[in-house]
C-alpha cells in the first residue's frame, strides 16, 4: 500500500512538474514576443513616409501646352500636357540616334528603347510625367513655365551646364549622361494620375 502511495505521489509530482515547465515556457515565449514586438515594429516606415510613397494628382485643370511641378518622395516631378506638335516631334526621333537610348521608365526594363511610346502611357500620350532633376549634377531644368527657356528641342533646358532635353524628356545635347527618369505611375481615371 505504501508503494502505491509513493507511486501516486511521484506521478502527481511529475504531472505538477510538467505543468510548471509548460507554463513557464509559455510565459517566457509570450514575454519574449511582447519584448521583441516594439523592436520589430519600429523598423517599419512611419505614416508620413508611407504617405510619401505615392501621390495622386488631378490633371484636369492643366491646359494643353501647360506643365505643373509636384513633389513626390522629396523630388520635383514634371507633368506636362503636351501639344500635338510636341508629341509629333517626340515620335519622329529615332531612339538609336539619342545619346541615351534607354527609356529610363520605372515601369519598364532598363533595356527598353527611349521611344516616345516607352516614356508615356498608351492612349495618354499627351501626358508626360518625369522626375525633374537633371541627370548631370542634379539641377532643376527650366521648361515648366510658359515663358521659360526650353532649349533647342522645345523641352527642358538645364541652365547649370547647358543640357538640352526634348519634348519627351530625353537628353539631346549637353553633359547630362541620361534621359530624365520616368517614375512608375498609372492613371486612376482620365484625369487622375497616381505616382508611385
Query: Domain holding 123: CATH number?
Result: 2.102.10.10
Q: Tell whether 76 and 135 lie within a shared domain.
A: yes
Count the neighbouring beta carbons within 10 Å of the beta carbon of residue 188: 12
Q: Tell whether 27 and 116 lie within a shared domain.
A: no
Q: Tell whether 70 and 102 lie within a shared domain.
A: yes
Instruction: Give the model confidence (pLDDT) of 64-104 as tens digits.
Output: 999 999 998 889 999 999 999 999 999 999 999 999 999 99
Predicted local distance difference test score (pLDDT) of residue 51: 55
User: Residue 8's domain spans which residues?
Assistant: 1-44
The count of structural domains within the chain is: 2
Whether the full predicted model's pTM is greater than 0.75, yes or no, is: no
Instruction: Give the model confidence (pLDDT) of 116-125 as tens digits.
Output: 999 999 999 9
30: Cβ–Cβ under 8 A, 6 or more apart, which residues? none
Q: Tell whether 105 and 183 lie within a shared domain.
A: yes
The partner residues of 79 in beta bridges, in order of sequence, read: 68, 129
Strands 192-195 and 55-58: antiparallel
81 is catalytic: no
Going by C-alpha positions, the residue among 124, 123, 105, 125 that lies closest to residue 113 is 105
Q: Tell whether 38 and 76 lie within a shared domain.
A: no
Instruction: Give the model confidence (pLDDT) of 15-65 as tens digits.
Output: 777 777 788 888 888 887 788 777 777 777 666 655 557 889 899 999 999
Q: Tell whether 120 and 160 lie within a shared domain.
A: yes
Q: Tell whether 40 and 59 lie within a shared domain.
A: no
- Tell me how far apart the alpha carbons of residues 62 and 133 are, in angstroms, rounded to a whole number: 21
Q: Scanning the structure block, which residue is given the C-alpha cell 503636351? A: 82
Active-site option among 81, 136, 161, 164: 161
Q: Tell whether 94 and 139 lie within a shared domain.
A: yes
Amino acid at each position: 500500500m505504501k508503494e502505491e502511495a509513493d507511486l501516486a505521489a511521484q506521478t502527481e509530482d511529475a504531472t505538477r512538474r510538467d505543468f510548471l515547465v509548460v507554463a513557464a515556457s509559455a510565459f517566457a515565449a509570450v514575454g519574449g514576443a511582447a519584448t521583441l514586438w516594439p523592436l520589430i515594429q519600429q523598423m517599419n516606415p512611419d505614416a508620413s513616409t508611407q504617405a510619401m510613397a505615392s501621390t495622386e494628382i488631378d490633371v484636369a485643370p492643366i491646359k494643353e501646352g501647360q506643365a505643373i511641378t509636384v513633389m513626390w518622395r522629396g523630388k520635383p516631378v514634371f507633368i506636362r500636357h503636351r501639344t500635338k506638335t510636341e508629341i509629333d516631334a517626340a515620335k519622329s526621333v529615332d531612339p538609336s540616334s539619342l545619346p541615351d537610348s534607354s527609356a529610363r521608365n520605372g515601369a519598364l526594363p532598363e533595356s527598353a528603347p527611349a521611344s516616345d511610346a516607352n516614356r508615356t502611357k498608351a492612349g495618354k500620350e499627351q501626358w508626360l510625367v518625369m522626375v525633374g532633376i537633371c541627370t548631370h549634377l542634379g539641377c532643376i531644368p527650366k521648361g515648366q513655365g510658359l515663358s521659360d527657356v526650353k532649349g533647342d528641342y522645345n523641352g527642358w533646358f538645364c541652365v547649370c551646364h547647358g543640357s538640352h532635353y526634348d519634348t519627351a524628356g530625353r537628353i539631346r545635347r549637353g553633359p547630362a549622361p541620361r534621359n530624365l527618369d520616368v517614375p512608375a505611375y498609372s492613371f486612376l481615371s482620365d484625369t487622375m494620375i497616381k505616382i508611385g
